[in-house]
Chains A and B, each alone.
Chain A
Amino acid sequence: MEIKKSLFSRILITVLVLVFVSAAAFAGGQKEGSATQTSKAVDARFNVGFTTDQALSTLIPDESWQYMEMGCIFWPLVYDQLWIMGPAPDYKPIPMLAESWETKDNQTWTFHLRKNAKFHDGTPVTAEDVAFTLKYLPASDPAWEYEDTDCDDIQVIDDHTIQFTLTAKHGGDYPPVFWTPILPKHIWEPYKDDMHSYDNAGAVGSGPFKLKEFKADQYIWLERNEDYWGNKPGAQTVVLKTYGSAEARNLALKKGEIDMIGYNGIDPLSLSSFKDTQNIEVKIDPGITIDWLSFNLHKENAITDINVRKAIMYGIDIDRIISIAYLGYAEPADSFMYKELPDHNPDLPQFTYNIEKAKAILAEAGYRDTDADGTLNDPETGENLVFELLGPSDWTQEVKMITLIKEQMSDIGISIKPKIVDLDTFYEFWYAPEEDGFDISIGNEEPGPHADWIWEFARSWDNGGEGWNCAYYNNAQFDEYLDDMAEQSDRGARKADLFKMQEILADDLPYGFLLRWKSINPVRTDRFTGYTSTMGGVSTWINPWSYFNVKPAE
């Protein structure tokens, strides 16, 4: 009996203590918040907000650099590259670790490194590190394998000169080895055969910022690299913070907890709450993301009929989608190429919303509602025109788009079954059209101004296109133009190839291009100035410039 008594009283005391402590913590915590606020302004801390699903779980150099939003920011800040794509409007290549480069035949390239670059641990950056990175990084993960990092032969000429021969010629306006972090050989050497096996907890790079603390899925705390070879950033500290939802993140911006949104800006719906807010400037930039529909040509149903795909495109009221799902902050797209770029083909067929035309195309091709259930029937099989429309639940706007497309398709007698899955499952279905996990799918990418790789989405499935080709598309002619384009250094010939490629895609319709949404970025101007805009906004994979350029406000 004694046991029970002491147990109960002990529990009671513990609880009372805990309640008291949490009450005290609450009272104290609030004071804490305001205390840090004032001290933050002093140490020039640049706070940037992400959402949980954008946060990094590890610092391993795997796909997390390219496929996780926080990774797209973290890596370029901490790891220097040979060269970097400059800011808008001309997006010129800018030397970074490499001072200069040259090539005679577009296949063998020589890069001259600057002599004063050092890793964060003090070791100088040499050609050995570059050779090491080129040799082992692309082999470790497909995320690093591109035609411009695929080398046959790598030679270290001296400490600061490296020469390598690519497996294929590399043309265009930019040198090869785009967007590749140079890793310190002395740290990675033991893990070269399996770079996933090193947790990279220290993250030693040579970039303008050094890692101070990394909390998986929570935050990354960076400090300015005082020994940096180039211009030192104006912010002494950069903190990439994570919030549970976009709404929490947006509120944090309003409260001054963060100065900038980490990726893709804000939802158009949230814009009104930032209008006329003190100390906040809203920047609206052209988008970087292009949304499209992938039609699965592997399916054995009516989706493989070009008439059906055309009717679908004519049946989509893109203006309505833009006005409702994006509140007008988007523009129609008709290609992987942005309309303002010189390589955009201006003569592509436009699928302007025309419900009668859509119906006429279907009727002419023999699709009739034979069973009078409101949905058209396939003349061959007699089955209803029912298509699964795949999309990831994480993409809020695209889910809205799916709802709207479903409505519009029912107007032309096509029944859409939305298939909303989590993002990882989505990618698994999307990139595997041969497994018939969808009929139509929402898809998007952020090609950016230097994007020869985006065309790989349409490389013939049977000709090495398996991977990115998410329509099971085959067209040998397209591949010819694509291969020629990649190797061409002649501007005019490249442009001709690209025009032709865009034309072929518009005729074959493996992909139905939908729209390009604008980037809406509220930024705080009371603590920092010098935010840099490019397409896609102030902070994207092609734009680390805001982090380099911001300065504490006077």
Chain B
Amino acid sequence: MKTLQFILKKLTGALITIVAIAIANFAIFRIAPGDPIRMMFKDPRVSTEQLQAMRVKFGLDKSIGGQFIDYVKQLLHGNLGFSFWQKRPVADVIGDRIGQTLILVVTALVIATTLGIILGAISGWRNGSKTDRTILSLSLVLYSIPTFAMGILLLLVFGFILLLFPLGGITTPASGFTGFMYLKDVLWHMVLPAFSIVLWYVGEYILLTRSSMVEVMDQDYIVTARSKGLRESVILRKHALRNALLPVVTLSGVNFAFAIAGVIEAETVFSWPGIGRLTYDAVMKRDYPLLQGIFLLFAVSVVVANFIVDLIYTRIDPRIKTGAAHE
């Protein structure tokens, strides 16, 4: 019963946040200077009639209140609106790009999480040793290198100088590849951008797993297990790591949502046609509906990720008192 109540409370909280973001979304882009309709026509000779016709078409002739009602109505129908810039539904524009971002982010995060957990566990397990100190400084250094800086370095060294990897893009243009060949082509293009993301996140995961491990190591059950004379590797796997992973799981969930929003850097350096580049272009084109759609997507994914993490938390760690989880 308590769990259900907790879930309900979390769910309402999540919904309120999404609604608030949807409203703020509308406001942020309206107060921005610049006339999006005028920007739709690069040719400056556009007549007032043509501008007016476009305003009517996109509902921008109405008052702010009227526009807001339209916006809410559309949202309730699951309609994200119509992109000013690409002149097609926002959902289509985002749909064309989201897959390319997901494949990049998921691959990068999975690699980062795994490497981070392994290295972090070793580091935490050997707390205070030379290995620990090496891993710790390494992760701090990696965590301090901005993704775009890492991207430029990788591009410069492995792309421009060593000529090992493609210099950008997601596929070989007009290759005609299908099936497995196509997949290979994409993966090959993904190596550098993925690693520029991996190397940043891996630092974060190492730090987190390590500190979590260190905490767990002091717990009674580890001490007990040791005194029972269990093998170290068994203690590591069966007792320590299992409990230390909890915050890491939380972080992966939240990170996943934030990584989608933060992938702009890698996408810019490697001209990866994903949602990050799209956001940047949409800002430059003052494409409100597209920006609203993208921001809503970001916000919803963050909220949903948080919500799922909360659920997993209560599920796998019954020690958490559902009532106090707010703190």
Contacts and interface: CB of A to CB of B under 8 A. Distances in A.
Contacts of A159: none
Given A15-B111, A142-B50, A245-B168, A425 B284 contact: yes
Contacts of A431: 44
Contacts of A427: 39, 42, 44
A8 B237 CA distance: 10
Interface in A7-39: 7-8, 11-12, 14-16, 18-19, 21-22, 24-26, 28-30, 32-33, 36
Contacts of B47: 142
B184 A142 contact: no
Contacts of A468: 44-45
B155 to A, nearest CB: 8
Nearest to B315: A3
A242 B167 contact: no
B96 interface: yes
Contacts of B41: 62-63, 141-143
Most buried by A among B39, B175, B184, B190: B184
Most buried by B among A1, A45, A142, A467: A142
Contacts of B175: 36
A432 B277 CA distance: 28
Given A243-B271, A422-B284, A57 B86 contact: yes
Interface in B163-219: 163-165, 167-175, 181, 183-185, 187-188, 190-191, 194
Interface string A182-220: 000000000000101101000000000000110111110
B184 A32 contact: yes
A63 B190 CA distance: 33
B245 interface: yes
B85 A18 contact: no
A218 B42 contact: no
Contact of A213 (B50, B88, B174, B315): B174
Nearest to A198: B87
Interface residues of B, number: 60
Contact of A219 (B43, B107, B174): B174
B43 to A, nearest CB: 4
B285 A424 contact: yes
B270 interface: yes
Interface in A344-396: none
A52 B87 contact: no
Given A57-B85, A218-B173, A29 B185 contact: yes
Contacts of A18: 107, 110-111
Contact of B43 (A14, A45, A63, A217): A63
Interface in B88-111: 88, 96, 107, 110-111
A244 B188 contact: no
A481 interface: no
Contacts of A197: 87
B262 interface: no
B271 A52 contact: yes
Nearest to A22: B187
Interface in B255-286: 269-271, 273, 277, 284-286
A55 to B, nearest CB: 10
B4 interface: no
Nearest to B114: A15
Interface stretch (A86-94, A248-256, A504-512): A248-256
Interface in A42-62: 45, 52, 57-58, 60, 62
Interface residues of A, number: 73
B113 interface: yes
A229 interface: no
Contacts of B111: 15, 18-19
B157 interface: no
B160 A32 contact: no
Given A29-B185, A142-B50, A36 B42 contact: no
A182 to B, nearest CB: 20
Nearest to B317: A4
Contacts of A145: 43, 45
Interface in A129-180: 141-143, 145
Contacts of A251: 160, 167
Contacts of A57: 85-86
A406 B229 CA distance: 77
B152 to A, nearest CB: 11
B35 interface: yes
A44 B118 CA distance: 51
Interface in B114-151: 114
Contact of B173 (A14, A28, A219, A255): A219
Contacts of A33: 172
B87 A423 contact: no
Given A60-B87, A141-B43, A143-B42, 10 more contacts: A14-B110, A15-B110, A45-B174, A58-B88, A62-B87, A212-B174, A218-B169, A243-B167, A467-B44, A468-B45
20 contacts: A1-B242, A4-B242, A7-B249, A12-B114, A15-B114, A24-B184, A25-B184, A28-B184, A29-B185, A29-B187, A32-B172, A33-B172, A45-B174, A57-B86, A66-B42, A142-B43, A142-B46, A216-B96, A245-B271, A424-B284
Give the 5 A-B residue pairs with the shortest CB-CB distance, closest first.
A244-B271, A29-B188, A244-B168, A431-B44, A219-B173
